[in-house]
């Protein structure tokens, strides 16, 4: 019986001379995903549309050189701390730590620093199971890496199930108190290209965390009711983004406080492709690709504003500096453990 397949090929070497591999995972239904050991990047993800044709629904590049630049974090694993930390400062047990301020003109630490997990080469281990092919990526981050305390032993497992799900399991352990917030920064476009305006989205969130001019949470947890952030009913993205065109973010770039493990559902009428997201994380950064600068993508596509969206499962931004937010401190003897599941279908 065919449970799926895994193939590996060389994908060049980094500017530091480290070899990078690309793994191709295929489940028994023909759903295919390509993953790089560089940054744990999901480079391609092919799922069937309503006519039985396979569509690549993620944004990406053709070469490793482009991924080494990758200003939008396309497809990448993010760590040690996803999203923003105000002024790059946080405190654990009375000790203050200072991170690099790498947020393009804003005084924040962003997505783990100048060389976060998105720019590391991970060790890969693959296996085929009755549930589908599995790729496990491991990285050991030393004490002081990008300013974070403690060694951090990280494992991320991608499972492409035979139910057409992508399961992502994150685990981490440390030898000193530290902070951890891991996510995956894939940009989706369920039409396979073009603007995302016709996508229909639902977010299962009654509340969100408002931000200041530097995109840092104010500390409030506010109801979405009667705001532009109420996406609890089916909403066409183009209509929603139009109402935010004069906002600081020029679209959505917000953390939503999830009601349950069911986080979101998105579908695209022209292809009929749907995607449901489930997660153990408390928050979801919904980002509509507002800052994509016109990148040259795969197969000659142009990635400018609103050509992809991200559903980044996470703890809230700047959590270490807000006592009322869920805790992101990891201590020796504890295990950081979260799962996110993207389930693909047809409507």
Listed by start position, the domains of the chain span: 4-193+283-346
Opening angle at CA 307, ends 272 and 189, nearest 5? 30
Taking CA atoms, 145 is separated from 87, 89, 114, in Å, by: 18, 15, 11
- Our answer to whether residue 142 is catalytic in this structure is no
* Whole-number pLDDT of residue 248: 76
What is the share, in percent, of the chain residues with pLDDT greater than 90?
Answer: 96
The annotation status of 253 as a binding-site residue, yes or no, is yes
* Whole-number pLDDT of residue 101: 97
Q: Cα(252)–Cα(228) distance, rounded to whole angstroms? A: 10
* Whole-number pLDDT of residue 264: 99
The annotation status of 83 as a binding-site residue, yes or no, is yes
Which of these is catalytic: 111, 185, 199, 338?
Answer: 185
- Our answer to whether residue 312 is catalytic in this structure is yes
> Residues 130-154: what's their mean pLDDT?
98
Q: In this model, does residue 129 exceed pLDDT 80? A: yes
* Closest among 191, 186, 116 to 158, alpha carbons compared: 186
Which of these is catalytic: 22, 165, 268, 312?
Answer: 312
pLDDT digits (tens, 9 = 90+) for 91-124: 999 999 999 999 989 999 999 999 999 999 999 9
Fold exhibited by the domain 4-193+283-346:
Beta-galactosidase; Chain A, domain 5 (2.70.98)
* Whole-number pLDDT of residue 347: 94
What letter does residue 247 receive in the DSSP assignment? S
Alpha-helical (H) ranges within 166-322 are: 237-243
pLDDT digits (tens, 9 = 90+) for 238-263: 999 999 988 877 899 999 999 999 99
pTM for the model stands at: 0.98
The annotation status of 278 as a binding-site residue, yes or no, is no
The annotation status of 174 as a binding-site residue, yes or no, is no
Q: Please provide the size of the chain in residues.
A: 347
Task: Round the average pLDDT of the chain to a whole number and report it.
Answer: 97
């Amino acid at each position: 019986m065919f449970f799926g397949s895994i193939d590996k090929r060389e994908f060049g070497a980094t500017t530091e001379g480290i070899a990078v591999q690309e793994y191709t995972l295929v489940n028994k239904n023909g759903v295919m995903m390509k993953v790089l050991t560089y940054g744990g990047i999901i480079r391609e993800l092919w799922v069937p549309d309503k006519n039985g044709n396979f569509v690549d629904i993620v944004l990406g590049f053709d070469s490793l050189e482009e991924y080494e630049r990758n200003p939008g974090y396309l497809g990448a694993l993010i760590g040690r701390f996803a999203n923003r930390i105000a002024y790059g400062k946080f405190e654990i047990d009375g000790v203050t730590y200072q991170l690099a301020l790498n947020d393009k003109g804003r005084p924040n630490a962003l997505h783990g620093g100048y060389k976060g997990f998105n720019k590391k080469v991970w060790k890969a281990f693959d296996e085929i199971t009755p549930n589908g092919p599995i790729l496990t990526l491991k990285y050991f981050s030393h004490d002081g890496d990008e300013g974070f305390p403690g060694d951090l032993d990280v494992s991320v497992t991608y499972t492409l199930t035979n139910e057409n799900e992508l399961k992502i399991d994150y685990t981490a352990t440390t030898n000193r108190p530290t902070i951890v917030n891991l996510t995956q920064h894939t940009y989706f476009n369920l039409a396979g290209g073009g603007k995302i305006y016709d996508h229909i989205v639902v977010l299962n969130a009654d509340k969100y965390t408002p931000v200041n001019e530097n995109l840092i949470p104010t500390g409030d947890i506010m109801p979405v009711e009667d705001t532009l952030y109420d996406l609890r009913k089916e909403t066409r993205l183009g209509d929603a983004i139009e109402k935010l065109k004069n906002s600081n973010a020029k679209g959505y770039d917000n953390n939503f406080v999830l009601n349950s493990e069911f986080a979101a559902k998105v579908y695209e009428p022209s292809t009929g492709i749907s995607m449901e997201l489930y997660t153990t994380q408390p928050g979801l950064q919904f980002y509509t690709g507002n800052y994509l600068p016109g990148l040259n993508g795969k197969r000659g596509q142009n990635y400018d504003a609103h050509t992809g969206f991200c559903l980044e499962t996470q703890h809230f931004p700047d959590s270490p500096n807000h006592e009322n937010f869920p805790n992101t401190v990891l201590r020796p003897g504890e295990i950081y453990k979260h799962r996110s599941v993207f389930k693909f279908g047809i409507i």
